[in-house]
Structure 1
Amino acid sequence: MVGPFEQAILAVILGVVMLGMGAALTFRDLGSELRRPRYLILAVICQFVLMPLLAFGLATVLQLTPGQAVGLMILGCMPGGTTSNLFTYFAKANLAFSVVITIMTTLVAIVMTPILLVLYGGALAEGVEVPLSNVVSSLVLLIIPVVLGMWLRRVSANLGATIELIGSVLGVFFIVLLLVTWVPRNWQLLLESPWQVYVAAIALPLLGMFGAYWYGRLIGLKVPDRRTLSLEIGIVNGPLAIGIVVLSFTGDLQQEVLLLPALYSLFVVLTSTAVTLMYRWSFNRAQVKIPELL
């Protein structure tokens, strides 16, 4: 797993990236999202209905071991993470919508995650407790840099543009650092893992993104908001899932349960990058077509 030093570095980088995202937003952007609560409520429902169902279905179809199944269910019951905001930013989707959904699902997860784990996990999930301090820390990490970035942009447009650029560059570095630090450290684990866990780790975010996109179409969201919802729902808070496993299990069972959240945290970077590039290409193509229509 990623060591304490790497975790500290990633936390700092993510904080700067979130600052850059905030510099790309205005308070008017967030206000417009809060004025349409219907879509926010529907997004929260999607998060805690679609993803747990997908995790349960994959665990059943792939016949995962009890420990692996619990690890996958914990992932499926997680709220959206700050990584989804990062990829929404790069995809040129609706960043304000993504940030508000992340905040709401993180708050709702304090109640919904343990309930869902009991409903789906049964005896396998008995004793799993949501570490509220981790949830609060994640929420603070998200809110403070974003609000600060928005304020800096309001104070100085040039300063805001500079911070936005720095955040964008560090965002790429953040993804590369995850790959460079995790893979060499866990190479033997990757070689020994059965194929079923790879399928589960890759399929959960992809199916979540696909399902959320069409759910967004069903409820009448515009294309940029569908892309936002797709990334927001499919990319869950992997670090929070790992924290729950570490605090809730011990010994060999801990390692077995931890395998899926760890693999997910690795592969979600690759799958999300592929989907984000596709969305970014579609956005650029649409931008080129606009002048042609004028």
Structure 2
Amino acid sequence: MVGAFEQALLALMIFVIMLGMGASLTPRDFYLALKRPYGLAIGVVSQYGFMPFIGFLLITFLPLPSAVAVGVLIMSCMPGGTTSNIFTYFSKGNLALSVLMTVTSTVFGVLLIPILLLIYANALDLEIPRENIIATLVLLLVPVAIGMGLRRLNANGGAVTEFMGSLLAVFFIAFILISWVPRNWEFLLTTTPATYVASIALGVCGIAIGYAFARVLRLHPRNARTVALETGIQNGPLAIAIVAFTFSGTEAQSYMAVPALYSLFIVIVATCVTFIFRRANTAAEQKMPDGLL
């Protein structure tokens, strides 16, 4: 469960993370995005086509309690986060494409996340308070707008805000380790293995399918790596915030389980994948024509 102090701290961290995301954006980013509809399409299909379907399959075939299944569904419907941009950078992927996909999935998420939750929740016979989730998503656009305003008023201040938001997104994992894990240790010891399988498989399958999708489209290897990481690395802090602000009571830890565990394991998974991608970054590949897509 999440205590009152943790909930307030979580809200503050999410605000700063979304503020940093907004500070990374300029009107020109949206102009460039609209000029590259192919990139927009890849981002939308990857985040809101593959990931929710992967979550649906995991819920269907794994023996998950209904509350845990709700957590899987929420996590799988999240947009990309700034963490994916960091791993894209270290894997020598296409950072511009990574940011474009993150922006696209975040903006489109306000409309698509409630629709996808409605479709998949009905198909899986799960009860989800969609109105609360919609309200949370709309509220989270406020710091994004403020961040964009800061960037427009002062480029240096915007750059610092962007850095702080990205740094806090990584620190957020440490917050979960220090706070949520010890408080829910007994639950973590007694929960079903399927909960852990779902938490790990969501990211692993997302990265694998994202990479395969990019290779089918014959994208440059740098762009394929980017699409893979953007697909598999969801916005864990946002999912945790939605669960924390939507559910309460003794079952709250069950709803929180997969978003929290996913946020922990995806760092390990993405780190391993980054090492693999860096080894594949050969000299011959560097000579290939790149471009954004």
TM class by shorter chain equals 0.7 to 0.9
| Code of the aligned partner of 2:130 | E
Match of 2:274 among 273, 276, 280: 276
Aligned ranges 1:128-167 → 2 under 5 Å: 128-129=129-130, 131-136=133-138, 138-139=140-141, 141=143
Measured against aligned partners, the alpha-carbon deviations of 1:127-186 in whole angstroms (never above 9, x if no partner) come to 421534533454455576588679977xx8xx9999999888877656555544444343
Amino acid at match of 1:208: G
Change (3 A) 1:170 1:257: closer
Find out whether 1:202 has 2:200 as its counterpart.
yes
1:7 to 7, 10, 27: 10
**What SS does the corresponding residue of 2:78 show, helix, strand or coil?**
coil
Cross-structure match for 1:101: 101
Q: Is 1:80 the equivalent of 2:80?
A: yes
What runs of 5+ residues in structure 1 fail to find an aligned partner? none
Please state how far the C-alpha of 1:91 moved relative to its aligned partner. 2.5
Contact 1:80 1:232 in 2 (8 A): yes
Change (3 A) 1:249 1:144: closer
Correspondence for 2:290: none
Q: 1:224-263 counterparts in 2 under 5 A? A: 224-263=222-261
Question: Equivalent residue of 2:194, what SS?
Answer: helix
**Local SS of the residue matching 2:280:** helix
Q: TM-score normalized by structure 1?
A: 0.76
Q: Which moved more, 1:5-14 or 1:195-204?
A: 5-14
Describe the shift of the 1:279–1:129 C-alpha distance in structure 2 as closer, same or farther (beyond 3 A): same
Match of 2:262 among 255, 261, 264: 264
Counterpart amino acid of residue 276 in structure 2: M
Shift, 1:118, TM fit: 2.3
Query: 1:239, CA displacement in angstroms?
Result: 2.3
Taking a change above 3 Å as real, the CA distance of residues 188 and 135 of structure 1, as seen in their structure-2 partners, is same
**Distance in 1 between residues matched to 2:278 and 2:20, nearest whole Å:** 19
Does the CA-based 8 Å contact 2:20-2:163 persist in structure 1?
no
Q: Which residue of 1 aligns with 2:59?
A: 59
Change in 2 beyond 3 A, CA 1:55/1:150: same
1:176-198 Cα shifts (integer Å, max 9, x gaps): 55544444343333222221100
Q: How far apart, in 1, do the equivalents of 2:269 and 2:19 lie?
A: 23
1:64 counterpart SS class: coil
Question: 1:83-134 CA distances to partner (integer Å, 9 max, x unpaired)?
Answer: 2223223323222222222222122222222222222222743442153453
Distance 2:111 2:91 in 1: 31
Contact 1:17 1:171 in 2 (8 A): no
Contact 1:127–1:248 (Cα < 8 Å) also in 2: no
Spell out the pairing of 1:213-224 with structure 2 (5 A cutoff): 213-224=211-222
Name the CA distance, whole Å, in 1 between partners of 2:52 and 2:286.
39
The answer as to whether partners of 1:85 and 1:99 remain within 8 angstroms in 2 is yes
Q: CA RMSD in A?
A: 3.8
What percentage of aligned pairs have identical amino acids?
41
Q: Distance in 2 between matches of 1:247 and 1:112?
A: 20
Q: In structure 1, how many angstroms separate the alpha carbons of the residues matched to 2:115 and 2:108?
A: 11
Q: 2 CA distance for matches of 1:73 and 1:214?
A: 23
Q: Which runs of 5+ in 2 are unaligned?
A: 288-293
Is the partner of 2:93 in helix, strand or coil? coil
Partners in 2 of 1:149 and 1:200 — Cα distance?
38
